[in-house]
Structure 1
């Protein structure tokens, strides 16, 4: 049997092969060609649209989707056509793809937003479509207050928007920074400077730590395209933990097409693509973002995470250094924090410690609340290269800032315990950390080890057993338990714990554990 270049069977095999190999752009082109040949096969056409959306080939996706009758469109294709219409400021056209009978699963959840903006543009009550029973009981409900606020602020109706702003922020979760800034700019445009400042005052420490450019334009949500993009980003972001990432990716792709300048959408999409194993595509999504973007700090954070996730440590270090060099005197704590992260992953502990130290100094000078984090990170790197006295000083300084931070208390307490320093203080710190975080297996382990070091072996064994039950895969806990059991003459149980520790131990620890299994516990093989 022979095939021609455009034989449907051959095209289908090639499309599936490209799909399996992760070549999304090629599979999208092949499915589109196949759909053109089989003109009335709407199932195939829908697959072609989905493939093109997944690849970010928007022109191809729109072209293919426009061939499909409205009643045959799938959710992703319908949302993309709506996004494309809104991107071109064609609200009326967007409304042709949905109506009151369109099911939520087919994209009907955006209908109230489109109708709201349409009614407002016609001088009628734009809130009415957002106040129906369908909205209060549907997918749009968690986002309804923010959408009402966006609409009213676009009409410069600040006083009417404020109750919705308050309710939206109260339930915003991780989106609070973005929404608070959007609302603040909306109030500012509506000539309510006092209202805008009131929103920003509460957020000031976080803004400083995130390097958000407060005075940059483009943060407000003031068009139907931006409103729908914000909704799709909110829903897509809430679905990122789903094992099947096709739906959140398609939602974020549509949001990105509707509002291509939204760095928030781009960052969410990039991080989701990376989790789907598509690191190169993820980085490409971030490439077009302007360095003057108001959320450029978040964009830089995301780029560094993607480079490190791909084990491109040298590129990550180069990126962090180039950012600092380009900013010069304007470089902030976050910029040096990124460099510290990159150098840490590149196994340059001394360089990382230096970068974190600069970050801590800048954070302190700016009055940022997160200075303690940089001090803790610096201490971690200093300890790893034997500079414990400096690490200890950093930890004490961090505890002065955050006296009830269990991570700091456990770090300093355990560090002193390992070295036989200030054992009473060390145990007290660990007990305090555990009181603050009673279900933390690592802190429970620290307390058990403190008890063992102070000769209270029976109590230590009981405490270490609790830690091992809470975190069965942590090698260090099992090794500590094994050492304590061996000391009490319970050698069979000790060997069992050491074998459990060996399963997840790193190379150097594995050698020590094997030596204990071969010859028993000795001063040379004892855990630290």
Structure 2
């Protein structure tokens, strides 16, 4: 085999590279092995590793020299993306169908045909094809937004509003980005008024985004061709897959194909960076996230993802430097200061975290309550950790006044009152209301049990704490609370079992305390906090 004297050893090296998060190296070795082998599975594996590494040139070469059709869903998507980039729509449609072998992706054909019609300025043909997408199609939910993009691409902004309104109402978590993309589409169609209206309805940073629109900085997000539309559809599907609890594997390869089809689209790059980070490929993740240009309207999202990746890797100094550089720039936003608060919180610099959240709240004072109450909760939490309970209580009460039916706020304020031994009637009422609003939240159930324990109602507390422990068997705090309640009720043998369960997942700072009461029993000094 050319360049490889020991194929078995080389294959083991390739698998080791793959397992250790080095797919580019794995792909290179496997591609060399595949060239001298009749084993199609070896070539398929090489394609997979090449796509995982983002080396689409190698993946396409391997696919085109394979003796059999693309065997995987993602490999076929890559061939389609290449055809659309090269404006070979007929070939893309052929590849999507069942006749070429491999998985049948013909459900995607109507969207490609519709875009082909749109690029030929056949408005009636494009909209007719879209109207025929079956109700049970995986792509049905994208029909309205694709119709809007097509109409705007064809210079017909006056026909787009009904499709735009339906698309935005169904966008869910994609609404922010969809507004930006549609605003750029309206601007390109010569309708700046509708473009600005879309941006002005965003909850924050509207003035900054309006300038970005007028200066043409939203152009990289544009959906104006079969290839960019295909990339956007892949991105939207990947986001749905990622949110689904039933997803078998992360949609990394799908996102790599989307990036290949529209490399200028920063939304795809940001999702790719997040997925790479989740796979432990931190250097690849950071490289992707840092590739988003500084003037890109989605750069704050890229910085958020970079910050989270650094925090998860405990690269705290880098995370802090990143957050500090963002707030030092002219025009720093509330999001920039919120990110700084998050990092200070991780560093346990609670006073500075509380101050950063205060800055975020001030800058976002015109945002809706749904944006402000989480920041008030975070600030209240950091003040409490900093030993500034009276200030914390005032902030938390303001959060409750703003969002009186948010169980997280009610629970935090009630639990904090319990810890400070203050106004136990009100504390129990707050936690009980939180539990009624979120009965499946084990942490809130735990708070209710702990409230009852604090009030000496041990039997009721034990029943509730046991249900919390069943709902979340790995949360050490719940098991420790249950152990304390059992011990107080005279059930000391059972208490030690509960404390042993707590010890299995306890934070290092709590281990000594829990071991002490396992050995000698519950005392005031070893009571849970």
Report the more deviating stretch, 145-154 or 299-308: 145-154
Q: Which residue of 2 aligns with 1:374?
A: 375
Q: Which residue of 2 aligns with 1:283?
A: 286
* Cα shift readout 1:166-186 (whole Å, capped 9, x = no counterpart): 333333232222223323333
Q: TM-score, normalised by structure 1?
A: 0.88
Structure 1: gaps spanning 5 or more residues: none
Alignment partner of 1:233 is 2:235 = yes
CA gap 1:189/1:362 in 2 versus in 1, 3 angstroms: same
Please give the residue correspondences for 1:45-84 in structure 2 after superposition, counting only pairs within 5 Å: 45-68=43-66, 71-72=69-70, 74-84=72-82
Alignment partner of 1:306 is 2:309 = yes
Tell me if the contact between 1:8 and 1:37 (Cα under 8 Å) persists in the aligned partners: no
* Cα shift readout 1:143-190 (whole Å, capped 9, x = no counterpart): 233223322221123344333333333332322222233233333444
Output the CA distance in 2 between the equivalents of 1:341 and 1:311: 13
Report SS of the residue matched to 2:293: coil
Report SS of the residue matched to 1:126: helix
Alignment partner of 1:261 is 2:259 = no
Output the CA distance in 1 between the equivalents of 2:97 and 2:490: 76
Tell me if the contact between 2:70 and 2:101 (Cα under 8 Å) persists in the aligned partners: no
| C-alpha displacement of 1:97 | 3.8
| C-alpha displacement of 1:123 | 4.2
Output the CA distance in 2 between the equivalents of 1:123 and 1:491: 79
Report the more deviating stretch, 408-417 or 361-370: 361-370
Q: Which residue of 1 aligns with 2:249?
A: 245
Tell me if the contact between 2:71 and 2:102 (Cα under 8 Å) persists in the aligned partners: no
Tell me if the contact between 2:97 and 2:104 (Cα under 8 Å) persists in the aligned partners: no
| C-alpha displacement of 1:395 | 1.3
Output the CA distance in 2 between the equivalents of 1:487 and 1:353: 36
* Cα shift readout 1:382-436 (whole Å, capped 9, x = no counterpart): 2223222222222122223222222122212211221221222222222222222
Output the CA distance in 2 between the equivalents of 1:45 and 1:483: 59
Alignment partner of 1:316 is 2:319 = yes
Output the CA distance in 1 between the equivalents of 2:482 and 2:13: 56
Report the more deviating stretch, 67-76 or 289-298: 67-76
Tell me if the contact between 1:379 and 1:394 (Cα under 8 Å) persists in the aligned partners: yes
Report SS of the residue matched to 2:126: coil
Q: Which residue of 1 aligns with 2:27?
A: 28
CA gap 1:357/1:117 in 2 versus in 1, 3 angstroms: same
Tell me if the contact between 1:157 and 1:190 (Cα under 8 Å) persists in the aligned partners: yes
Number of residues of Structure 1 aligned to a counterpart in Structure 2 = 520
Output the CA distance in 1 between the equivalents of 2:311 and 2:198: 35
Q: TM-score, normalised by structure 2?
A: 0.87
Q: Which residue of 2 aligns with 1:351?
A: 352
Report the more deviating stretch, 205-214 or 167-176: 205-214
Alignment partner of 1:515 is 2:516 = yes
Output the CA distance in 2 between the equivalents of 1:37 and 1:482: 64
Output the CA distance in 2 between the equivalents of 1:16 and 1:304: 31
Output the CA distance in 1 between the equivalents of 2:362 and 2:136: 50
Q: Which residue of 1 aligns with 2:144?
A: 145
Tell me if the contact between 1:74 and 1:106 (Cα under 8 Å) persists in the aligned partners: no
Q: Which residue of 2 aligns with 1:118?
A: 116
Report SS of the residue matched to 2:470: helix
Please give the residue correspondences for 1:149-160 in structure 2 after superposition, counting only pairs within 5 Å: 149-160=148-159
**Structure 1 vs Structure 2 CA RMSD:** 3.1
Output the CA distance in 2 between the equivalents of 1:42 and 1:466: 53
Output the CA distance in 1 between the equivalents of 2:503 and 2:447: 19
| C-alpha displacement of 1:270 | 1.5
Output the CA distance in 2 between the equivalents of 1:118 and 1:365: 43
